[in-house]
Structure 1
């Protein structure tokens, strides 16, 4: 009997959309309960709130991994001798690391457990961030950011799975909103950190001056705190009962369920109504040929074999056309989202530096961004850093707050509108807003267009995942979403690589290109099948 490779738990940050299973009410008092029955019997209360709190440091650490470089560029550009292309690579390389590690961490999450993986991954991530803070050159920083993306991808998927596996099906959709809010809170937290830390007064020599710590190094050290905090917090938490059941450790799982019930209700664990759990792991492979050595080798290889088999099925009829279409759509949407999002601090600082330098001409985006191209060229002997960017950080905070408000408002709208309408109209409006950035006549208009573009496209990227859930059958759904996430990260990586190249050619090219890609992507969504194209539930 083959053991299915549960990649949904580690590569699907939105697999909570699958949580529509109905809880059975026909089970007798002494009959074994399945996971959904057991977690529902444990009620909802203080323990679930505690799980939500544990998501704060993990979500911050994950978001920091892709965002810190965008705040460091304007401050570290002289120390690291950064060109625009170097900056694009530093934004891109974290996503490259994420792409390469998905399948490996899929295996590890199901092999060693969610809790252990989270603890190990975020300790390692914190160490890598500290090493980034000690970097004095561009190339070591690139390598460390790649490794950081490689590592943190596993932690992100594991904590999403962990949180979902402590909540009954009816509560899981709320976790998507909660996690999205936490991830977007970093767009407010990071500029506040930059505002409070960046200064020209920090110059700390180490190792006889071979390493000199400046404020951007300290900024990275501070950004490692959520990683270490996440690791410590999860050391104190129990293992996921769903994982324990999947590996045949039902006694431990039942103990966890009882403790959850006791914390949530304030009653004795002995009053928990579930007395036994169903056996999810077959027991007939434990003591096989050659004293178990052959079966052990097979059990290690089986998840990889099953995962590859499930992946290949998606690229043959009748699923191949739909799968390829979804991959192109998510690639385009994530290119539009994470490219401009990561360049906003750098673009706004270039605009601000132009204005404070004494130029009094009318607002012209091209003349302001042209200074970014000139001052960020490697080998430029006149490289300077402006540390007085308080106004810029206020702009970024306003933009981040506007995006969060936009997301909350849009949730009320998309609950009444079909997914396809959201994808087509929302994506097209986002693409148009991106193109209109070039024509902005003042800074408030520019900030509004930034927020409008990013807010709309953030909504469409989440709707794409919901559409995948509807289009593909249950047996292929997890792998389809895993591949969709990989395509999106590829788009994020490509977008950050080409953005500086386009900006060097002229300020209209990056905005027109991203806008065109998003608009064409939105039109492609019209080709998606109408399988259950109902309003989001």
Structure 2
């Protein structure tokens, strides 16, 4: 006879569902969500230069087109966080992915750069909350002792996705075909096909959300205990292969503040935001916002301009200028203006290099994520940040391009903290404002990267050495500030999962 536990805290009830098939299926869905977001946001790095010849865009217009995704993210991240906290993670993610696919795929039929920019802005608005909401949904369906690993692995997914884009673009952009579409008066060429390929993961993500469970933690936070218990039983059945009757829980309590109910859109939006701006949550909101600004401002610009950097180094090596400093190699390679070079596609070797670097960092993230519970995520975050900062500061100290390249890769490992830092966000905020908090802190970080991207490009051209000193130094300071982060949450004993 099975004796039902009278009442359990949510974390204990989730822990009893075990860790297995459901969690791996959830991670697969999460992969499609992260890939969809990455492909839409980063696609401009490949589509803008590839479309330059057909759309006849100037440097200013190309810069405007490339900036659309970040503007879209900043514009709607807060909005998606509110909806996810009030309407549900699953429903909002399904809408995000569907809208992103429609707008992103439509960009393949753009007759000019203005329409392209508008559609990419809309698609980025749609995926703005995807990363934060995917992390939130994943964390709220994963037992606590496995949560940090699963959430941290999303950085590997993102990095592999950006690297995969570089590889996909090589054969697609080399296709030589052209189909005239009279109604739109456009030539359907390889860059438009590449745009459609990049939009595909969004469609897969939408389908995945259709077949997924809603977050049981969210259901509890809005008073739907019966539905939450049904989801927990479903997870238990998928993970263990046993009947739902064997799940020894009859009642679940959230065990945290669920906030005050409010009526109306604006009052509800304020209700989701105000708690983050006053004690006791204010301290964590400010601290995490500062950390996200440092991490994103310091590292994200280098991800954006990595093809530019890789292309410059490759060209210098091909000319035999491999005895110069890293910055001298960049200057010597990019003295020729883009207008003098009529090639409208990215260099294949540079894209392969981007892929190798992305996969290398992704592999490192996977290793670190696997041992994060043994080292501690706070120690891991601080260690990665300090090592990355020191590497960035040392890039200018050698004239060996190989050593400089190794240091650059070490510096860019700071991107791992995108995921490690997110594990703090999904743990330290109560459920009723969790998605809003994750979206808000991510929005602040991504907003700062807009300035970082423009500043870095200017410095790489006019004062390359200063660029590494500024961004490397800021990254190092972020490691010191990391000591102020909350201590790691003690993991729940694995014994309960074995029952």
1:184 aligns with 2:159: yes
Deviations 1:131-190 (A, max 9, x none): 232334333333333322321122333322222232222222221232222122114311
**1:52-201 alignment runs, 5 A limit:** 52-81=27-56, 88-199=63-174, 201=176
Of 399, 408, 413, 1:450 maps to 408
Taking only aligned residues, the RMSD between alpha carbons, in angstroms, comes to 4.0
Distance 1:43 1:322 in 2: 30
Distance 1:120 1:508 in 2: 45
Distance 1:149 1:423 in 2: 28
Of 457, 468, 471, 1:514 maps to 471
SS in 2 for 1:185: helix
Distance 2:290 2:254 in 1: 40
Distance 1:243 1:374 in 2: 55
Give the unaligned 5+ runs of structure 1: 1-26, 286-294
Distance 2:229 2:430 in 1: 31
How many residues of Structure 1 are paired with residues of Structure 2 in the alignment? 487
Match of 1:404 in 2: 362
Distance 1:472 1:250 in 2: 20
Of 352, 357, 368, 1:394 maps to 352
Contact 1:94/1:150, CA 8 A, preserved across alignment: yes
Contact 1:418/1:534, CA 8 A, preserved across alignment: no
Give the direction of change, closer, same or farther, for the CA distance of 1:152–1:466 in structure 2 (3 Å limit). closer
Q: What's the CA shift for 1:329?
A: 3.8
Q: What's the CA shift for 1:484?
A: 3.2
Q: What's the CA shift for 1:106?
A: 2.1
**1:443-522 alignment runs, 5 A limit:** 444-455=402-413, 457-462=414-419, 464=421, 482-522=439-479
Match of 1:20 in 2: none
**1:299-378 alignment runs, 5 A limit:** 300-313=265-278, 324=286, 326-353=288-315, 359-364=319-324, 365-366=327-328, 368-369=330-331, 371-372=333-334, 374-376=336-338
TM-score for the superposition, normalised by structure 1: 0.76
Give the direction of change, closer, same or farther, for the CA distance of 1:449–1:194 in structure 2 (3 Å limit). farther
Distance 1:158 1:509 in 2: 37
Contact 1:470/1:532, CA 8 A, preserved across alignment: no
Deviations 1:388-417 (A, max 9, x none): 833323322221232123334555887676
Give the direction of change, closer, same or farther, for the CA distance of 1:516–1:262 in structure 2 (3 Å limit). closer
Of 360, 365, 389, 1:431 maps to 389
Q: What's the CA shift for 1:497?
A: 2.2
Distance 1:37 1:307 in 2: 26
SS in 1 for 2:249: coil
Deviations 1:32-73 (A, max 9, x none): 445334433333332222212211211111222332222334
Distance 1:476 1:321 in 2: 15
Contact 1:333/1:518, CA 8 A, preserved across alignment: yes
Contact 1:33/1:277, CA 8 A, preserved across alignment: yes
TM-score for the superposition, normalised by structure 2: 0.82
Distance 2:194 2:237 in 1: 42
Contact 1:434/1:450, CA 8 A, preserved across alignment: yes
Give the unaligned 5+ runs of structure 2: 493-499
1:214 aligns with 2:208: no
Q: What's the CA shift for 1:474?
A: 9.9
Contact 2:73/2:127, CA 8 A, preserved across alignment: yes
Contact 1:70/1:91, CA 8 A, preserved across alignment: yes
Match of 1:16 in 2: none
Give the direction of change, closer, same or farther, for the CA distance of 1:148–1:246 in structure 2 (3 Å limit). same
Instruction: Name which one, 1 or 2, has greater alpha-carbon Rg.
Output: 1
Contact 1:46/1:263, CA 8 A, preserved across alignment: yes
Distance 1:208 1:384 in 2: 29
Distance 1:419 1:49 in 2: 22
Distance 1:475 1:235 in 2: 23
1:298 aligns with 2:263: yes
Distance 2:222 2:134 in 1: 18
Distance 2:143 2:322 in 1: 57
